């Protein structure tokens, strides 16, 4: 059974930083590509960043390039999103996602992820 649990959301002033974490429980953790998505109520979910199953390849939305960094710690089965220089436009519920793809496989932002966390609110004012 695959479970993802996000943490680290909260409220921050513009220009500040937050780090989101996603604890991931499943066998063959390194065979999953992972991603972060966000959604504002009433709008479509937006892909923020993805990371390959090996952790060597990352993809970012243009809106967050240079400000956000996605990473994974395979020893801890945890996914991270370091968010710097936050803007009010980054306010959303952030979700982590996972999909079983095999070793050393890449997922683009448009990939259909199968497993999702419950979300964590990020508010930038």
What is d(CA 75, CA 62) in angstroms, rounded to the nearest whole number?
30
User: pLDDT digits over 57-89, tens only?
Assistant: 999 999 999 999 999 998 899 999 999 999 999
Q: What pLDDT shows up at residue 68?
A: 98
d(CA 29, CA 14): 34
Question: What's the confidence (pLDDT) of residue 99?
Answer: 94
- Give bridge partners of residue 60 from the DSSP assignment: 49
- Note down pLDDT in tens along the chain; length 125 residues: 899 999 999 999 999 999 999 999 988 888 999 999 999 999 999 999 999 998 999 999 999 999 999 999 988 999 999 999 999 999 999 999 999 998 888 899 999 999 999 999 999 99
pLDDT for residue 30: 83
Strands 32-39 and 92-100: antiparallel
Q: How far is CA 83 from CA 28, 29, 99, 123, in A?
A: 27, 24, 23, 12
The pLDDT, as a whole number, for residue 27 is 81
Among residues 48, 25, 46, the alpha carbon closest in space to that of 36 is found at 48
């Amino acid at each position: 059974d695959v479970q993802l649990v996000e943490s680290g959301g909260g409220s921050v002033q513009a220009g500040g930083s937050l780090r989101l974490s996603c604890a991931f429980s499943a066998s063959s953790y390194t065979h999953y590509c992972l991603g972060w998505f966000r959604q504002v109520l009433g709008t479509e979910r937006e892909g923020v960043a993805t990371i390959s199953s090996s952790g060597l390849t990352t993809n970012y939305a243009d809106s967050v390039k240079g400000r956000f960094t996605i990473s994974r710690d395979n020893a801890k089965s945890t996914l991270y999103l370091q968010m710097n220089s936050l803007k009010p436009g980054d306010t959303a519920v952030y979700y982590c996602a996972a999909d079983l793809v095999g070793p050393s496989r890449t997922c683009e932002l448009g990939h259909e992820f199968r497993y999702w966390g419950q979300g964590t609110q990020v508010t930038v004012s």
